[in-house]
Amino acid sequence: MATSTSSRPDVPPSTLPAPHPTHPVAQRPVPDASSEFRWTSIPEAEAYRLQLAETEAFESFFYDEVVEAPTDIALDEVLPEDAGAVVWRVRVEAPQAPWSTAAHFTWGEPDASQEAQFLVDAPPVSIYPIEDDVVDAEAPAFTWEAVPEASGYRLQVAHDEAFADPIVDLTVEATSLTIFNELPEERATLHWRVAALFPNDTEGPWSDPVRFATDPDAGADTDLAPEGDVPESASDSSSAARSPVAAGPAQHSQTSSTMALVFIGVLLVSFLVTILLIMMSG
């Protein structure tokens, strides 16, 4: 639905995050005459600008409108019959708001010559959050390693490892995703997993479920304490051990600096004593 409403005029544009396209993405075919376009919501955003183009340069547009989210587009009315591959992006309708990364889909029935399977039988490797991390409930970020030949990824978050009723089930083309206001606001234990997507609706295996927790008051680097409170010293030790840059090298660096200062001091004292002895002997 088109609208002329501007979004969050009181917020500096540089502070607005970019949405993530979630459908259609990953070069998936869209055979229907119309399709719903979806993306991750931005808090308090009232309107978005949506563009469809032939290339990622976005020099000319099939579609360029201010819309609400999500929105339906009659593709047969805006795309030429031979459009084939289509690129789209979205941003909050505000001056200088950042655009999303470009998302891709194909319009029309898949060509028989494009039925090749691109499946790589390996799951993505989860990077963050890792097991028992605590994340900010309002805007958690998920990151994973890329899978060769993948055109996109499917991310799920659920209360249990069975993922029978996921509270988040999104497809994206990136290897990281920040979700706004989708997870429980109260402290909760959750699980997440991700699978690679390939052209023509081929999907790779799921990664192993990762348990994490949400907490409105938690920072991104706080660890989960499932059974009681963890002493501050133990929490600090755990965080250091789990950090990509462990505490060891930092401590070694501090120790090396101290030893260097002591060594210089000894040399200076020795030099002064030597000068004093020479003067006394003269």
Q: What is the DSSP letter of 2?
A: B
Residues linked to residue 171 through DSSP beta bridges, in sequence order: 154
Q: Which of 100, 102, 105, 183 lies closest to 142 in space, CA to CA?
A: 183
Q: How confident is the model at residue 99 (pLDDT cuts 50, 70, 90)?
A: very high
Domain extent listing, the chain: 16-110, 126-226+234-242
In tens, the pLDDT along 122-147 reads 899 999 999 999 999 889 999 999 99
From the list 192, 49, 61, the residue with the least C-alpha distance to 127 is 192
**Pairwise CA distance, residues 171 & 20, whole Å:** 9
CA dihedral 239, 146, 199, 116 (to 10 degrees): -130
Residue-wise pLDDT for 6-31, tens only, equals 334 444 545 789 999 999 999 888 98
Q: What angle do CA 214, 217, 220 make, to 5 degrees?
A: 60
What CATH number does the domain located at 16-110 have?
2.60.40.10
* More confidently predicted of 49 and 84: 49
Distance in angstroms (rounded) separating the CA atoms of residues 86 and 109: 14
Q: Considering all CA atoms of the chain, what is the largest pairwise distance in Å, rounded to the nearest integer?
A: 105
Write the single-letter amino acid at 61: F
Do 139 and 219 meet the contact criterion of CB atoms below 8 Å apart?
no
| Residue 96 confidence class, pLDDT cut points 50, 70, 90 | confident
The span from the CA of 151 to the CA of 144, in Å, is 14
Q: How far is CA 181 from the centre of its chain?
A: 15
126-226+234-242, CATH topology level: Immunoglobulin-like (2.60.40)
Structure tokens of 214? 């949400």
**Residue in the structure block whose two tokens are 């010293």:** 233
Q: What is the DSSP string of 210-251?
A: EEEEEETT--TTEEP-SSSPPPHHHHHHHHHHHSSS-HHHHH
CB 129 within 8 A of CB 142: yes
Q: Do domains 16-110 and 126-226+234-242 have the same CATH topology?
A: yes
Q: Cα–chain-centroid distance for residue 1?
A: 28
Share of the chain above pLDDT 90, in %: 50
Q: Higher pLDDT residue, 94 or 255? A: 94
The whole-chain average pLDDT of the chain stands at 77
Torsion of CA 217, 223, 229, 230, to 10 degrees: -130
Percent of the chain's residues with pLDDT above 70 = 68
Phi, psi of 105 (to 5 degrees): -150, 165
Number of neighbouring beta carbons within 10 Å of residue 233: 8
Count of other CB atoms within 10 angstroms of residue 270:
10
pLDDT exceeds 50 at position 87:
yes
Residue 2: pLDDT over 50: no
**Contacts for 17 with CB less than 8 Å, ≥ 6 apart:** 42, 98, 178, 180
Query: What is the average per-residue pLDDT within 68-87?
Result: 91
